[in-house]
Amino acid sequence: MQIETKLPKVGTTIFTVMSQLALQHDAVNLGQGFPDFDGPQSLRDALAAAMNSGKNQYAPMTGVPKLREQIAVKTERLYGRKVNADAEVTVTSGATEAIFAAIAAVVRPGDEVIVLDPCYDCYEPAIDLVGGRAVHVPLTLPDFSVDWQRVKDAITARTRVIMINSPHNPSGAVLSSADLDTLAALTRDTEILVISDEVYEHIVFDGAPHESVLRHPELAERSFVVSSFGKTYHCTGWKVGYCVAPRALSAEFRKVHQYLTFCTFSPAQWAFAQVLESDPQHYLDLPAFYQAKRDRFRELLAPSKFQLLPVRGAYFQLVDYSAISDKDDLNFCEWLVREAGVAAIPVSAFYETAPDAKIVRFCFAKNDPTLVAAAERLVKL
């Protein structure tokens, strides 16, 4: 049987490929973005308690009410935006599902969606599957800032959505309040919507605030804002996220969500609700927790030949390896696993058209022994 694929550009993701290579070569895996430590004991205890108390059947389609209420409380506490937990907060099976549901809810065949390269690899397939077209606008190197004039030039009568991501994967760049003001000006008096991927919202460094779209009243009225409990609580395998959006957008979002996954793992929702209520200090302490890991990893790599790019948020370190090899980044990553025993991710995997740069991504969401073991191998190159 021959099947005409709907995703001709898609194969196995680079994250899976590099993780498999890491296993084959017994390499230290700094590729795929997951911690090698567990989330809070209180969260794991709350999950067990939820399961043992019988909370194992379908959750409400939009999410357990107590969890949605706690998300609304957190949103107002951090960003000053009061949202309706019943009508504007939806719990999803991970942030990737939320991104897909948002795109599917509002993008129609022929619509254009502006994405900023490098961008996470789930964006374009979701756009393609609903018949839209991704319009790639490159961020400006070396700081991965947004050239808003290029974004403006990319807007056409068919532009339906602009997607942003801050803190940014893979670069760690963050958007400023001035960036959001500019985005608001570009979309004002248009029907353009915004999808704001904020899964690393609690991982911003050097005392800077996270400039969420939810802080910006004008943008919040036209935006889907997506976040991830997996990133915040070190449990990426639980696959629980959420979307905050105005009532009308949430209504359309939920129409897709209910036929995509219908609901999300029920015991975890009860556990997150409990921990959000009892221990908000966890997410407040997260910037310092990950900044210590960032600084430790950079200190360990300082004697190496890698050039370390600045990291303002998220838990990834980009490095320029041009002093080590003239290979392209994919071949370099494959060589790095085989010869040095460390897995990384080539930044070209996040681009439609990659720039002529020799940059790879390491994940530093790891225990200190893991970072030390990786650095010992990397400084020998």
pLDDT, tens only, 92-106? 999 999 999 999 999
Q: Tell me, what's the pLDDT at 303? A: 97
Write down which residue in 281, 311, 334 finishes a domain.
281
Q: Are residues 85 and 20 located together in one domain of the fold?
A: no
Q: Which of 320, 319, 346, 316 is nearest to 331 (CA)?
A: 346
pLDDT, tens only, 181-234: 999 999 999 999 999 999 999 999 999 999 999 999 999 999 999 999 999 999
Q: Are residues 232 and 326 located together in one domain of the fold?
A: no
What average pLDDT is seen over the chain? 96
Q: Are residues 127 and 230 located together in one domain of the fold?
A: yes
Q: Tell me, what's the pLDDT at 353? A: 92
Report the amino acid identity of residue 370: T
Q: Are residues 242 and 339 located together in one domain of the fold?
A: no
pLDDT, tens only, 301-341: 999 999 999 999 999 999 999 999 999 999 999 999 999 99
Number of domains observed in the structure of the chain: 2
Does residue 81 contact residue 220 with C-beta atoms inside 8 Å?
Answer: yes
Q: Tell the burial category of 360 from Cβ atoms under 10 Å away from its Cβ (0-12, 13-18, 19+).
A: buried
Which of the four pLDDT bands, split at 50, 70 and 90, describes residue 379?
very high
Residue 175 is part of a domain; what is its CATH number?
3.40.640.10
Write down which residue in 281, 298, 332 finishes a domain.
281
In a domain, 108, yes or no: yes
Q: Tell the burial category of 55 from Cβ atoms under 10 Å away from its Cβ (0-12, 13-18, 19+).
A: middle
pLDDT, tens only, 19-38: 888 888 889 999 988 999 99
Q: What residues make up the domain containing 20? A: 14-39+283-378
In a domain, 318, yes or no: yes
Mapped onto helix, strand or coil, the DSSP state of residue 260 is helix
Q: Are residues 188 and 325 located together in one domain of the fold?
A: no
Listed in sequence order, the DSSP H helices in 155-280 are 177-187, 217-220, 229-232, 247-260, 266-278
Q: Are residues 123 and 221 located together in one domain of the fold?
A: yes
Question: Is residue 273 pLDDT above 90, yes or no?
Answer: yes
pLDDT, tens only, 239-270: 999 999 999 999 999 999 999 999 999 999 99
Q: Tell me, what's the pLDDT at 5? A: 92
Q: Are residues 236 and 319 located together in one domain of the fold?
A: no
Q: Tell me, what's the pLDDT at 22? A: 82
Q: Tell me, what's the pLDDT at 366? A: 97
* Alpha-carbon gap, residue 284 to 210, rounded angstroms: 11
What's the predicted TM-score (pTM) here?
0.96
Q: Are residues 25 and 58 located together in one domain of the fold?
A: no
